[in-house]
Amino acid sequence: MGSAALEILGLGLCVAGWVGMILACSLPMWRVSAYLDGNIVTAQNTWQGLWMNCVVQSTGQMQCKVYDSVLALPPEMQAGRALTVVVGLLGLVALLVTVAGAQCTTCVPAGPAKARVAWAGGALYALCGLLALVPLGWFAHTVISDFHNPRVPVSQKHEMGAALYIGWAAAALLLAGGGVICCGACPGRADLGFPVRYSAPRRPAPSGDYDKKNYVKGTAARPPYLPAAAARIRDLVGGFPALANAPGVRKVGPQTIKKRPNSIGNGWGPGVGGGPVH
């Protein structure tokens, strides 16, 4: 049960990190304007992302424009685009693989192969976290280098935006979740996290009160259905006085039953059928 809980916990962390990485990829706030020294004009703020740049006015109006040329972009933006798309697609594959190998699913039969599938899903999530760190670190290094470069004009200096921090948190979740899944899917795990037990239904007796196992051979106990059967035989035999006094018929009080072996073991049971009793 512990390994199954680890897998569920790790999968939750990985899914949260995957969604956070997609959010960071789509936000245009990877690099924002910096206000230094004489740059006190705050009427507008410039945001730069992987796919577009935006200008936000002090009045709240925002205008965004998608980059016209991909080849004209800086290397860090081109690498960031490619790697974030790879992380998004690889995260989807890792989700399917992890769910297939989890103990709470039956997509793969229980055994060592199922544990290896779950372990592969955790490794893919950890790889997503590592790939996500590459564009984030590269972009942050470029922003910090330009900020401290004296040859860059003050008006062109930028700071790290909120998308970078969201991306770092998402990468941390991916790495942590992938490690937890790998720990829960170790090769020596027991695939008994969610046991399924079946119990055979009890077969009721015809009367609904007793079962055959309640009677022991050799006892004088008589099932409750014998009086009704004897009454039926009495009615059948009562119309034939000669048959009622036959050697093979025994009278028990007002009831008449035919002597024959039965499964109870007392040597007496009801006659069968409505014909003559021999």
pLDDT in tens, 171-216: 999 999 999 998 887 755 554 444 445 555 555 555 555 455 544 4
Question: Is 124 found in the same domain as 15?
Answer: yes
Structure confidence at residue 216 (pLDDT):
47
* 146 assigned to some structural domain: yes
Mean pLDDT over the full length of the chain: 75
Question: What CATH number is associated with residue 162?
Answer: 1.20.140.150
Continuous H helices in the chain: 2-26, 75-101, 112-148, 162-184, 225-238, 241-244
Structure confidence at residue 276 (pLDDT):
47
pLDDT surpasses 70 at 91:
yes
* 94 assigned to some structural domain: yes
Please choose, from the candidates 32, 5, 10, the residue with its C-alpha nearest in 3D space to the C-alpha of residue 165.
Answer: 32
Question: Is 140 found in the same domain as 8?
Answer: yes
Band (234; pLDDT cuts 50, 70, 90): low
pLDDT surpasses 70 at 232:
no
Structure confidence at residue 70 (pLDDT):
84
Model confidence over 2-53: pLDDT tens digits? 778 888 899 999 999 999 999 999 998 898 887 766 555 566 788 888 998 8
Question: Is 148 found in the same domain as 99?
Answer: yes
Domain range for residue 227? 212-258
* 197 assigned to some structural domain: no
Question: Is 132 found in the same domain as 237?
Answer: no
User: How far is it, in rounded angstroms, from Cα 131 to Cα 21?
Assistant: 11
Our CA angle for 89, 125, 135, nearest 5°, is: 65
* 225 assigned to some structural domain: yes
Question: Is 177 found in the same domain as 217?
Answer: no
The one-letter code for the residue type at 108 is V
User: How far is it, in rounded angstroms, from Cα 168 to Cα 243?
Assistant: 100
Question: Is 42 found in the same domain as 156?
Answer: yes
Question: Is 217 found in the same domain as 96?
Answer: no
Decide which of 166, 184, 202 is a domain's last residue: 184
For tokens 């004088």, the residue is 220
Question: Is 232 found in the same domain as 153?
Answer: no
State the total domains in the chain.
Answer: 2
* 195 assigned to some structural domain: no
* 97 assigned to some structural domain: yes
* 275 assigned to some structural domain: no
Percent of the chain with pLDDT over 90: 27
Question: What residues are paired with 72 via a beta bridge?
Answer: none
Question: Is 220 found in the same domain as 152?
Answer: no
Percent of the chain with pLDDT over 70: 64
Note whether 11 and 185 are within 8 A (CB).
Answer: no
Question: Is 252 found in the same domain as 142?
Answer: no
Model confidence over 253-265: pLDDT tens digits? 444 444 455 444 4
* 169 assigned to some structural domain: yes
